């Protein structure tokens, strides 16, 4: 039987855990958790009778509500909290008519919706935090393992100079480390209570407003902000920005892996698994389906971030459209980011490395990629410009004759006067011209380890 609330593609660009955090039931339950906490906090400070709490809290279970009626009521009322409070009050009234008088006391719809979203966001960020920690470990391990493995570096999609495979992993790791730092800062600012009443003054609670707000924040284990933030959406926008940037970094990793996985390069491959990456018509195909899912997320994420940013321009004390635009954009963005992260986490630790193809691709140009190394060595003796002209001429001869650059250089009298054949061979060895690659790997790993302290 099909789930009317789900999409058939939910597990292509998402994952079960993140989808569950933002499911319709979880959304309703998060709002009900706020209502239950509000009853407890209000009773704690004598705003509502303590005798009303048990009935309200017992009723705050999503299974007690009619989802179809919520959808219909939300369309009529403009938000989900209005029909939710109506249904919740009816459930409480059936058990305790007196307690029903105190449902949703002192709050406004946006308090319940925003704080519910913050609870969901916290759960989503916790999942992302754990997956980022796993990814950092896997990237550090691969960077260390391949710290000295030479491969070709590419600029403008063309062969440039040698690097190491470990450096590529380290570059990804360093970006992930920065995202982990951002996430810690984001949590401190974004995981806060929203509680201001109708116009953000908590006038409905008279002199108990600040006390109830603090108790409510403590109950939900959220930070109490200095004041309500109904139309100040920078916290949500910062969360969206973080999710968008992280998805972009994951997309960068997926782009590199998928390019290196092309048949003509064959340097790496996604881990093999039964039924994964096949073609419906070509039996030989092994498609980078994990990378495709990540790149799909990276394509969609910027527009979702833009939607949330556009919604920041809001009217007075309550928004007309901008706030409402977040309701679908933020969950979709969070699901996409979590799914992309899950896919990269499945690829990196067990990525297949083809050392032979890495080495073979370094030899494709017959040594031309090491021309700079020879030029600089000769430049010490004959000057950089003359050395450049000499190596450029030798490179053209190598291409024209289809012979190694070594042969063209070794036959040149000027080269022979200043460089022995052993020196020339050493200069044309890719492993000897990777600069600070290994030191950069060490630096990235060390930086990452600081996050574990």
What number is the average pLDDT over the span 356-381? 96
First CA to last CA distance, the chain: 48
Torsion angle, CA of 403/406/410/413, rounded to 10 degrees? 90
Quick: pLDDT tens for 315-324: 999 999 999 9
Name the pLDDT band for 7 (thresholds 50, 70, 90): confident
Torsion of CA 382, 383, 386, 390, to 10 degrees: 60
Q: How far apart are CA 174 and CA 241, in angstroms?
A: 18
Q: Is 352 helix (H, G, I), strand (E, B) or coil?
A: strand
Active site residue 453: no
What string of DSSP letters covers 275-343? TSS--SS-TT----HHHHHHHHHHHHHHHHHHHHHHTT---TTS-SSHHHHHHHHHHHHHHHHHHHHHH
Q: Which residues contact 436 (CB under 8 A, 6 or more apart)?
A: none
In angstroms, the Cα distances linking 170 to 143, 241, 253, 286 are 5, 23, 11, 26
Residue 271 per-residue DSSP state: P
Q: What is the pLDDT of residue 13?
A: 81
- The CATH 1.10.40.30 domain(s) of the chain lie at 368-427
What architecture is domain 368-427? Answer: Orthogonal Bundle (1.10)
pTM of structure = 0.94
Q: Which CATH number fits domain 1-106: 3.40.50.150, 3.30.1380.10, 1.20.950.20, 1.10.275.10?
A: 1.10.275.10
Across the chain, mean pLDDT equals 94
Q: Which of 51, 95, 189, 279 is catalytic?
A: 279
Which pLDDT band, with edges at 50, 70 and 90, does 5 fall under?
low
Strand partners, 269: 352
* Cα→Cα distances 36→46, 56, 432, Å: 16, 6, 66
Tell me, yes or no, if 318 is annotated catalytic.
yes
Q: Could you tell me which residues are beta bridge partners of residue 155?
A: 158
DSSP state string for 214-262 = HHHHHHHT-BPPSS--TT--HHHHHHHHHHHHHHHHHHHHHHHHHHHTS
Task: Identify the pLDDT of residue 1.
Answer: 54
- 133, 318, 357, 426: the catalytic one is 318
Q: Which residues contact 420 (CB under 8 A, 6 or more apart)?
A: none
> Beta strands 268-269 and 352-353: pairing type?
antiparallel
Diameter over CA atoms, the chain? 103
CB 79 within 8 A of CB 230: no
pLDDT at 91 over 90: yes
At residue 280 the predicted structure's pLDDT band, cuts being 50, 70 and 90, is very low
Under DSSP, is residue 96 helix (H, G, I), strand (E, B) or coil?
A: coil
Among residues of the chain, what percentage have pLDDT more than 90? 92
Judge whether residue 278 has pLDDT over 70. Answer: no
321-360 as b/e: b if 16+ CB within 10 A: ebbeebbebbbbbbbbbbbbbbbbbbbbeebebbeebbbe
Return the percentage of the chain with pLDDT > 70, whole number: 96
> In the CATH hierarchy, which top-level class contains the domain 108-192+229-359?
mainly alpha
How would you class 129 by CB atoms within 10 Å of its CB: exposed for 0-12, middle for 13-18, buried for 19 or more?
Answer: middle
Confidence of residue 8 (pLDDT cuts 50, 70, 90): confident
Q: What is the pLDDT of residues 219-265, one digit of tens each?
A: 999 999 999 999 999 999 999 999 999 999 999 999 999 999 999 99
Q: Count CB atoms within 10 A of the CB of residue 282.
A: 9
What is the rounded distance in angstroms from the CA atom of residue 78 to the CA atom of residue 85? Answer: 13
Q: Report whether pLDDT(275) > 60.
A: no
**What is the H or E stretch that residue 154 is in?**
strand 150-155
Would the pLDDT of 283 be above 70? no
pLDDT band at 305 (very low <50, low <70, confident <90, very high): very high
Encode 122-134 in three state secondary structure. HHHHHHHHHHHHH
pLDDT value at 27 more than 70? yes
The answer to whether residues 261 and 288 touch, using CB atoms and an 8 Å cutoff, is yes
Q: What is the predicted pLDDT for the residue at 4?
A: 55
List where CATH 1.10.275.10 sits in the chain.
Answer: 1-106
Rounded (10°) CA dihedral 343, 347, 350, 355: 180
């Amino acid at each position: 039987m099909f789930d009317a609330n789900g999409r058939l593609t939910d597990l292509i660009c998402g994952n079960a855990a993140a989808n569950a955090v933002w499911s319709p039931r979880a959304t309703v339950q998060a709002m009900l958790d706020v209502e239950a906490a509000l009853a407890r906090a209000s009773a704690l400070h004598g705003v509502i009778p303590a005798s009303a709490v048990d009935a309200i809290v017992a009723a705050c279970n999503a299974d007690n509500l009619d989802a179809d009626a919520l959808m219909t009521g939300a369309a009529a009322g403009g938000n989900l909290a209005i029909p939710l409070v109506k249904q919740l009050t009816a459930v409480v009234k059936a058990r305790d008519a007196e307690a029903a008088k105190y449902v949703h006391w002192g709050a406004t719809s946006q308090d319940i919706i925003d704080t519910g979203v913050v609870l969901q966001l916290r759960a989503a960020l916790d999942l992302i935090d754990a997956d980022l920690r796993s990814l950092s470990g896997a990237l550090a391990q691969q960077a260390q393992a391949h710290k000295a493995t030479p491969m070709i570096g590419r600029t403008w999609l063309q062969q440039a100079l040698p690097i190491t495979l470990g450096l590529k992993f380290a570059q990804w790791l360093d970006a992930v480390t920065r995202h982990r730092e951002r996430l810690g800062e984001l949590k401190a600012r974004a995981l806060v209570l929203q509680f201001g009443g109708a116009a953000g003054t908590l006038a409905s609670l008279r002199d108990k407003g600040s006390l109830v707000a603090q108790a409510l924040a403590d109950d939900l284990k959220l930070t109490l902000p200095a004041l309500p933030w109904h139309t100040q959406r920078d916290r949500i926008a910062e969360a969206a920005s973080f999710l968008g940037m992280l998805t972009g970094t994951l997309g960068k990793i997926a782009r590199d892996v998928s390019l290196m996985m092309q048949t003509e390069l064959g340097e790496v491959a996604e881990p093999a698994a039964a039924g994964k990456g096949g073609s419906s018509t070509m039996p030989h195909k092994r498609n980078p389906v994990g990378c495709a899912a990540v790149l799909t997320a990276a394509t969609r994420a910027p527009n979702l971030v833009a939607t949330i940013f556009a919604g920041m321009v809001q009217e007075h004390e309550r928004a007309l459209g901008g706030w409402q635009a977040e309701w679908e954009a933020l969950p979709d963005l969070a699901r996409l980011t979590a799914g992309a992260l899950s896919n990269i986490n499945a690829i990196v630790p067990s990525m297949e490395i083809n050392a032979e193809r890495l080495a073979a691709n370094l030899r494709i140009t017959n040594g031309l990629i090491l021309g700079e190394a020879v030029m600089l060595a000769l430049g010490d003796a004959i000057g950089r410009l003359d050395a450049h002209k000499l190596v450029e001429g030798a490179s053209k001869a190598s291409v024209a004759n289809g012979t190694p650059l070594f042969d063209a250089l070794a036959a040149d009298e000027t080269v022979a006067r200043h460089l022995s054949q052993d020196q020339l061979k050493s200069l044309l060895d890719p492993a000897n011209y990777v600069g600070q690659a290994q030191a950069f790997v060490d630096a990235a790993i060390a930086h990452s380890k600081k996050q574990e302290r």
